[in-house]
Amino acid sequence: MGSRRNWLKQTSLGIVSLGIIPLESFAVSKEEILIKEEANLIPIYLRSNENPYGPSDLARNAMAKSINSSNRYNWDSVSDLISKIAKKDNLAAENILLGAGSTEILDLVARYCAVNKGSFILADPTYNYWTEAVEKLGLTKITVPLTEDKTHDLSAMLNAIQPDTRMIYICNPNNPTGTICERVALVNFINEATKKVIVLVDEAYIDFTNQESLVNLVTENKNLIIAKTFSKMYGLAGARIGYGIANSSTIEKISQLQSWNNGSISVVSVSGALASISDEKFVLETYMRNKNTREYTIKELERLKIQCIPSHSNFVYFSLANYTKDFFEQLKMNNIIGTKIYEEKGEWSRITIGTKKEMEQFIKALE
């Protein structure tokens, strides 16, 4: 009987692949989804700072239509996207390099800096998932603790520069703390630091703030590189599309480490980005939803005596030092996927801002 069931299953899949039975007949029904939601069987993902509302409808439609073009390489569409980004930021196409998410840009810059070995500087804690590979390439990591209010200690980072330092990484707003560098102070820091080293500024979350991007500085500063992404505000994390912005001579040098310049992004992903970049309505709606839900979440956490850091992003950083229950066990029991402890002193953790309903369930799980 078991072997017959397996045969029937394999036969059915074969028929589907031939197009005899519509794929929709195997899809999960809306009723089943609702039942799972009511039974708390669908996880609430508050782990990776993803946009719970995206991609936008314009992006979804564009990506669906572009599937029929997936037999072609991305040359034309990539050129269109680069032109659109350049126009948006008042730059030239030569100032832009695309990557499979901004992480590829971080990786490329770090590899470029590692050619001559040496060291690199970053805050602690900050976004550091890309650094392990860099250390294996021969760069030594120098960490600089954040200030008491969880912001970058820019003066200490300047003082940490060694004769062999190749790069300083600044995540602004910072992940996981959600804090932001005051712009004038950051510009002054960049002007000073880039006399000696490359400064790589990760602006993955800048769209959730009112702060102006630093992209206007790259034409005059060859040692400043900005990493940006479509993963967060635009809701295209799974599509893997980001880009670097720098002086044209710097882009030319970094791009030499790409086996195919701008070639790591699919036609489908590029189509989604093209539709997203001019979808101002979606961006404004996401910004306001995130802002309102973030304020609600911070207010409720503080009601539960959980200290929060003011956030300029789509996540909140908080201390569990005064929380009497087992935080991670509470999440587990309620099928909520969170993160970890980032700083043992103070038991600091982070939570992504989901939809209002998801954050209400998150707060309820902690009560």
Asked whether the beta carbons of 330 and 337 are under 8 A apart, the reply is no
Q: Where are the domains of the chain?
A: 29-54+281-366, 57-276
pLDDT digits (tens, 9 = 90+) for 82-137: 999 999 999 999 999 999 999 999 999 999 999 999 999 999 999 999 999 899 99
Question: What is the tens place of the pLDDT at every residue in 17-29?
Answer: 434 334 333 344 4
For the cut 80, the answer to whether the pLDDT of residue 12 exceeds it is no
CB 126 within 8 A of CB 175: yes
Residues in the chain: 367
Residue 286 CA to residue 217 CA, distance in Å, equals 27
DSSP class of residue 29 equals: P
**CATH value of 29-54+281-366 in 3.40.30.10, 3.40.720.10, 1.10.260.40, 3.90.1150.10:** 3.90.1150.10
Whether residue 297 contacts residue 318, with contact meaning beta carbons closer than 8 Å, is answered with no
Q: Who's near 12: CB < 8 A, 6+ residues apart?
A: 21
Residues above pLDDT 70, as percent of the chain:
89
- The H-or-E segment that residue 57 falls in is helix 57-66
CB < 8 Å & 24+ apart, contacts of 87-90 = 88/277, 89/213, 89/215, 89/216, 89/245, 90/216
- Return the number of other C-beta atoms located less than 10 Å from residue 192's C-beta: 14
* Cα 205 from Cα 49, distance rounded (Å): 9
Upstream peptide bond of 145 is cis (omega within 30 degrees of 0): no
Rounded Cα distance, 352 and 337, in Å: 10
Note the pLDDT of residue 15: 38
Residue 148 CB burial class (10 angstroms; 0-12, 13-18, ≥19) = exposed
Residue 292 predicted with pLDDT over 90 = yes
pLDDT in tens, 216-271: 999 999 999 999 999 999 999 999 999 999 999 999 999 999 999 999 999 999 99
The yes-or-no verdict on residue 32 having pLDDT over 80 is no
pLDDT at 41: 72
Other CB atoms within a 10 A radius of the CB of residue 64 amount to 12
Going 342 to 345 to 347 to 348, the CA torsion angle's sign is negative
CATH number of 57-276: 3.40.50.300, 3.40.50.10440, 3.40.640.10, 3.30.2350.10? 3.40.640.10
Residue percentage of the chain with pLDDT more than 90: 88
Q: Give the count of beta carbons closer than 10 Å to the beta carbon of residue 257.
A: 14
pLDDT recorded at residue 17: 41
Query: Mean pLDDT throughout 300-317?
Result: 98
Structure tokens at 290: 């995130």
Q: Which of 216, 213, 218 is nearest to 202 (CA)?
A: 213
Element (H, E) at 20: none
Summarize the confidence of residues 284-295 as an average pLDDT.
98
pLDDT at 71 over 50: yes
